[in-house]
Amino acid sequence: MFSQFFGSYLLNEGLVTAQQLSKALEEKKNTRLKLGVLAINEKYMTAEQVEQVHNAQATMDKRFGDLAVEMGFITSKQLDELLSVQPSDYLLLGQTLVNDGVLTNSEFEKAINEYKTSHSLSDDDISDDQSAKLSNLISEFYHFETAENAKTYTAYLNLLFKNIIRFIGDDFTPLEASIIRDLDANYMVYQTVSGNLSCVTGVEAEKYQYVKFAGRFAHEELSEVDEYTHAAVGEFLNLHNGLFTVNLSNDFGVELNLDPQDYRDNEHVSYKKTAFCIPISFSFGIVNFIISI
């Protein structure tokens, strides 16, 4: 159910050794994605069908894609689709491992399917009602920002809502977002994400709501704002930001870093760039999520 980089998934499952993985991560940048791996990833072809085309290629001087269409495994429309696919980073890693002979096509097929099933939170996990609220909320961002930033905000918020459902609960209503330049923070955790894009993120609330939010995450009854309570809110933010960076690494090969989280009690906070404050109303009260990209 969790986002995880494909490489560490293969390592955890014992499908590759640390050495094989290390080597493949090194070689990956020179790897060219082949149609067989792409077709398996899209579930257009099975590994067995890919092998059949490879075998046929041994006797005929034809391209993989044309043969796959001739043999009736894919349509020419699917072939065009595959040819225009942007190579995801995790697929390049898979291709490298297949090229190195670490994984066979059928081992790759099994691994990629299991990885996708067990490590993605599909839209089915979110109710229609919540989905509608989510898209309404997110669409507001399109009015505010450039297309490039809107895309990142959308990805960030989409994941944020999934993580709130996962770690805190689904008893919430997103309220209208606002643009802020500063904030009178009651209790707050913040964390900076740096790299190709840099953003400042935070979770802020009044004492009661802050403690309740922390308690939900920690699965404990908490009553005061102390180091432990801050650590609970901080770990939520850290997990969420971490999963966000993993998604970007997996899909686009964009590498970001996180700074350690920090805390503020009753302080005035100013932002250098425009920040969005997204209030979310839980059954125990309102918690503000702040992001500035």
Partner 1 sequence: MPLSNISVMICDDSILVRKKLKDYISSLGVAAVYEAADGVQAVEFYKQFKPTVVFMDIVMPKKTGIEAVTEIIAFDKNAKIVMASSVGTQNHLKEALSAGAYEFLQKPISNEQIHKILEIVAKGVK
Residues 221-240 that bind partner 1 (CB under 8 A): 227-228, 231-232, 234-235, 238-239
Question: What six digits make up the tokens of 196?
Answer: 């190709």
SS (H, E, C) 152-206: HHHHHHHHHHHHHHHHCCCCEEECCCEEEEEEEEEEEEEEEEEECCCEEEEEEEC
Determine, following the binding rule CB under 8 A, whether residue 257 of this chain makes contact with partner 1. yes
Work out whether 200 is an interface residue with partner 1 (CB under 8 A). Answer: no
Could you say whether residue 4 binds partner 1 (CB under 8 A)? yes
Q: Which residue number, 72 or 260, has a Cβ lying nearer to partner 1?
A: 260
Which residue stretch of 5-13, 32-40, 70-78, 283-291 sits at the interface with partner 1 (rule: CB under 8 A)?
A: 5-13
User: What SS3 class is residue 103?
Assistant: coil
Among 246, 269, 291, 293, binds partner 1 (CB under 8 A): 246
Matching residue, tokens 């020179």: 30
Among 49, 89, 203, 291, binds partner 1 (CB under 8 A): 89
Kindly state whether residue 243 participates in binding partner 1, applying the rule CB under 8 A: yes
Cα angle vertex 138, ends 270, 169, to 5°?
85
- Tell whether residue 152 is a contact of partner 1 (CB under 8 A): no
Q: What is the DSSP string of 266-289?
A: EEEEEEEEEEEEEEEEETTEEEEE
Instruction: Provide, rounded to whole angstroms, the least separation between the CB of residue 230 and partner 1.
Output: 9
Task: Tell me the closest approach of the beta carbon of residue 284 to partner 1, in angstroms.
Answer: 19
Left (φ > 0), alpha (ψ -120 to 50) or beta: where does 253 sit? left
Q: Whose Cβ is closer to partner 1: residue 101's or residue 260's? A: 260
Query: Contact at 8 Å (CB) between 93 and 25?
Result: yes
Fill in the DSSP letter of residue 102: S
- Within 8 A by CB and 6+ apart from 25, the residues are 7, 93
Figure out which of the listed residues 56, 258, 284, 285 binds partner 1, where binding follows CB under 8 A: 258
Residues contacting residue 255 through CB under 8 Å, at least 6 positions apart: 195, 196, 245, 248, 249
Site for partner 1 (CB under 8 A): which residue of 18, 128, 184, 223? 18
Q: Please identify which residue in 110, 218, 251, 285 interacts with partner 1, judged by CB under 8 A.
A: 218
Q: Which residue has the tokens 């494909």?
A: 6
Give the binding-site size for partner 1 (rule: CB under 8 A): 40
If one counts every other C-beta atom within 10 angstroms of the C-beta of residue 123, the result is 11
Looking at the Cβ atoms of 49 and 96, the one nearer to partner 1 is 96
Whose CA is closest to 201, among 167, 157, 231, 151? 157
Kindly indicate which of the ranges 68-76, 246-254, 271-279, 285-293 contains the residues binding partner 1, using the contact rule CB under 8 A: 246-254
- CB atoms under 10 Å from CB of 225, counted, come to 19
Decide whether 49 or 152 has the Cβ nearer to partner 1. Answer: 152
Which residues of this protein are in contact with partner 1, per CB under 8 A?
2-5, 7-8, 11-12, 18, 21-22, 25-26, 89, 93, 167, 218, 227-228, 231-232, 234-235, 238-239, 241-243, 245-246, 248-250, 253, 255-260
